[in-house]
Structure 1
Amino acid sequence: MMYGLLKPAIFALDPERAHRASIRALGLLPDRPVPAFDTRLGQEVAGLHFPSPVGLAAGYDKDAEAHSAMLGFGFGFVEVGTLTPRPQAGNPKPRLFRLVEDRAVINRMGFNNGGQEAAARRLAKRDRKRGLVGINVGANKDSEDRIADYAAGVERMAPLADYLTINISSPNTPGLRQLQDEGALRDLLQAVGGARGDNGPPVFLKVAPDLEADDPERIARVAIDEGVNALIVANTTIDRPDSLKSKQRGEAGGLSGRPLGKKALAALRAFRAASGGQIPLIAAGGIESGADAEARIRAGASLIQIYSAFVYRGPGLAMRIAGDLAQRMEEEGVASIADWVGSE
């Protein structure tokens, strides 16, 4: 209710200014207690216990400033970043656009962040008992060796992370998605594996939804071969569905939110079929309700992540989705969320 009252004032602000204001506001407030989840929602994924399958995707808490607060709003896990080895300003403004009529967002942020060292100082102080925090790492735009950037990021952030995400799927850093090509991907994951070491945290790989027919099988095969612990499917899309109504629909960048839902679900099903359940999948893109979350889980996702829907529906969305899932499980007599995974 509170978010509903504040939303008109928030949406009157430039989207990026509103985003920064929300981060600053969270920093001024005491952390809420972490809620207790229905035990049926808990499961083990990649050797970690996730108390709820509903997580916050990377992009909101870019610089690891609000992860503790977001765990208090009922996210089962929070992913910070994307963080690059060196600070970078990102792309020129304006670079973030609300498509209100479509409940969507277009961004071309370009990995704007204060760098891994600044974030590491904050993360070193976190109370790890509050919940799981993943760290999403990327390469600097002007890097001469992007694979080396990822390896450096993994080495630096591994001691601070419950899991690491390798983000090679943003459309806003030129040439980044080329790292999804088979040879480059294998070289990258081998470098990341060496940097993580034998006792490092699990490594997840975030992929794009804009795929050729053979991409899921090829990417899944390389990921499994190189010991990746989970795939996040998927990042934003460069496609523009004909259904878009907002006047900002022609802005360049990655589209997220409700219009991404069908494409992201199709990508998830393709990776599930390609991997045969050999690697856990995390669904992202266009999830805004308990029904959406259930559909992704039944299609093969062990976990889900939200961000754009959180912008439109408020920070209580994570708990509402978790509650909806628990209610559906109660109605169906399902003992564990894991029993739903891939059941469609």
Structure 2
Amino acid sequence: MSLAERLGLTVLRRIDPETAHGLALRGLKAGLAPAPGPVTSDRLSVDLAGMALPNPLGLAAGFDKNAEALRPLSRAGFGFLEVGAATPRPQEGNPRPRLYRLAEDRAAINRFGFNNHGIGPIADRLAATPTAIPRGLNLGANKDSADRAADFAQVLRRAADHMDFATVNVSSPNTEKLRDLQGSEALRALLAGVMAANKRGLPIFLKIAPDLDDTALADIAAVAGETGIAGIVATNTTLGRDGLRSSHRDQTGGLSGRPLFDRSTRVLARLSSLTDLPLIGVGGVGSAEDAYAKIRAGATAVQLYTAMVYDGLSLAVRIARGLDDLLARDGLTAAQAVGKDRDRWL
């Protein structure tokens, strides 16, 4: 990490978290960010549901909700990007404050509630900003929608020509009853509607919660196989609060960051034993070792977000290069490492 990035993070951490996040995005758009381009090698290159990734490290949804910083983020070292979540209509989300740093735990709690500009402006930005790496959109539903399942298909139809994949997000804990759509019958109907709207044949992923038991995971794996989606993102934020030290630990919302790592990786490994679909591992990734552990637990690719609050955007380059070193040490490619340690997590 450069001295300038270290100083910038020090300043941002003294500001309200959501305001600091907005300033960070403005800095990105102004060119105040590392831009080495995608990190790649023969070991790191991987195929994810037909998409050629220069490396398996992606940016998770939520960092760039409105697709405002696509160009600088595509040059920050990642192998792919996910923006959003986007809903059909603009949405303010929940009242502020709604984002909390848990510095002692290297974590965050948010209760944003799908705040975004709506799919119209987001799709326009995607159309106007080509990138050298695959990028996808996290699909959401408006809080006051009469038919949330239809919202996902509507967002997909509007932006399909300008993205490489889409993720159906039924696992945010911050929209009332959204997680109810993870039930097998509701999920089957929702995914059928999305797939019917997927005229371009984009890879469609499903993002699930980490707070599901083995029966629910088995149901999700079965529905995923039946509906023809491309893969599963494991996982979103958790409602659990085990072992937290921060004074913000009891805030309402979804917990992300370091405390989520073990829980999300166990879910990932369990899914890996239930389906042959490619999996994207998310939750607590903050180092090359974390990314490698997710891959060895069953992930074809991984994503991160919260760790950058503490270690900056240059973390993407450091993780990708560190992952390359770990693979070289073990004489493996990223594809060959998938699932090597799955049984350790079951």
Mapped partners of 2:237, 2:71: distance in 1: 25
Partner SS for 1:34? coil
* Residues 236-251 of structure 1 aligned to structure 2 (within 5 Å): 236-241=237-242, 243-251=243-251
Q: Verify the 8 A CA contact 2:38 2:79 in the aligned structure 1.
A: no
Match of 1:342 in 2: 339
Deviation at 1:161, TM superposition (A): 1.1
Q: Verify the 8 A CA contact 1:10 1:18 in the aligned structure 2.
A: yes
Q: Verify the 8 A CA contact 1:158 1:200 in the aligned structure 2.
A: no
Mapped partners of 2:52, 2:86: distance in 1: 24
Q: Verify the 8 A CA contact 1:159 1:200 in the aligned structure 2.
A: no
Q: Verify the 8 A CA contact 1:104 1:258 in the aligned structure 2.
A: yes
Q: Verify the 8 A CA contact 2:231 2:279 in the aligned structure 1.
A: yes
Q: What one-letter code is carried by the residue in structure 1 that aligns with 2:261?
A: G
Deviation at 1:232, TM superposition (A): 0.2
Deviation at 1:315, TM superposition (A): 0.6
Match of 1:37 in 2: 40
Q: Stretches of 4+ moved more than 6 A in 1?
A: none
Deviation at 1:270, TM superposition (A): 1.2
Q: Verify the 8 A CA contact 1:43 1:51 in the aligned structure 2.
A: yes
Q: TM-score, normalised by structure 1?
A: 0.96
Deviation at 1:39, TM superposition (A): 2.3
The Cα offsets for residues 141-176 of structure 1, whole Å up to 9 and x where unpaired, read as 000000110111111111111100100000000000
Mapped partners of 1:248, 1:333: distance in 2: 43
Q: Verify the 8 A CA contact 2:38 2:78 in the aligned structure 1.
A: no
The Cα offsets for residues 163-216 of structure 1, whole Å up to 9 and x where unpaired, read as 00100000000000000001000000100010012x331101000000022011
* Residues 312-327 of structure 1 aligned to structure 2 (within 5 Å): 312-327=310-325
Mapped partners of 2:47, 2:38: distance in 1: 19
Partner SS for 1:174? coil
Percent identity over the alignment is: 46
Are 2:68 and 1:71 equivalent residues in the alignment?
Answer: no
Match of 1:156 in 2: 158
Match of 1:93 in 2: 96
Match of 1:127 in 2: 130
Mapped partners of 1:78, 1:311: distance in 2: 17
Which residue of 287, 290, 296 corresponds with 2:288?
290
Match of 2:305 in 1: 307
Mapped partners of 1:237, 1:252: distance in 2: 11
Deviation at 1:323, TM superposition (A): 1.0
Q: Verify the 8 A CA contact 1:63 1:81 in the aligned structure 2.
A: yes
Mapped partners of 1:44, 1:10: distance in 2: 36
Which residue of 20, 23, 29 corresponds with 1:21?
23
* Residues 154-303 of structure 1 aligned to structure 2 (within 5 Å): 154-197=156-199, 199-241=200-242, 243-275=243-275, 278-303=276-301
The Cα offsets for residues 91-146 of structure 1, whole Å up to 9 and x where unpaired, read as 00000000011100000000000000011111111123x21111111000000000
Match of 1:83 in 2: 86
Deviation at 1:5, TM superposition (A): 1.8
Q: 1:36 to 1:209 in 2, by over 3 A?
A: closer
Deviation at 1:33, TM superposition (A): 5.3
Which residue of 98, 103, 108 corresponds with 1:105?
108
Deviation at 1:269, TM superposition (A): 1.1
Mapped partners of 1:30, 1:6: distance in 2: 10
How many residue pairs match? The answer is 338
Mapped partners of 1:210, 1:240: distance in 2: 11
Mapped partners of 1:88, 1:224: distance in 2: 32
Deviation at 1:299, TM superposition (A): 0.7
Deviation at 1:305, TM superposition (A): 0.2
The Cα offsets for residues 246-291 of structure 1, whole Å up to 9 and x where unpaired, read as 101110000000001110011111111121xx10000000111111
Partner SS for 2:176? coil
Mapped partners of 1:148, 1:35: distance in 2: 35
Deviation at 1:4, TM superposition (A): 1.5
Mapped partners of 2:320, 2:32: distance in 1: 23
Deviation at 1:28, TM superposition (A): 1.8
Q: Larger deviation: 253-262 or 65-74?
A: 65-74
Mapped partners of 1:54, 1:280: distance in 2: 14
Question: CA RMSD of the aligned region, Å?
Answer: 1.2
Q: Verify the 8 A CA contact 1:163 1:201 in the aligned structure 2.
A: yes
Partner SS for 1:231? strand
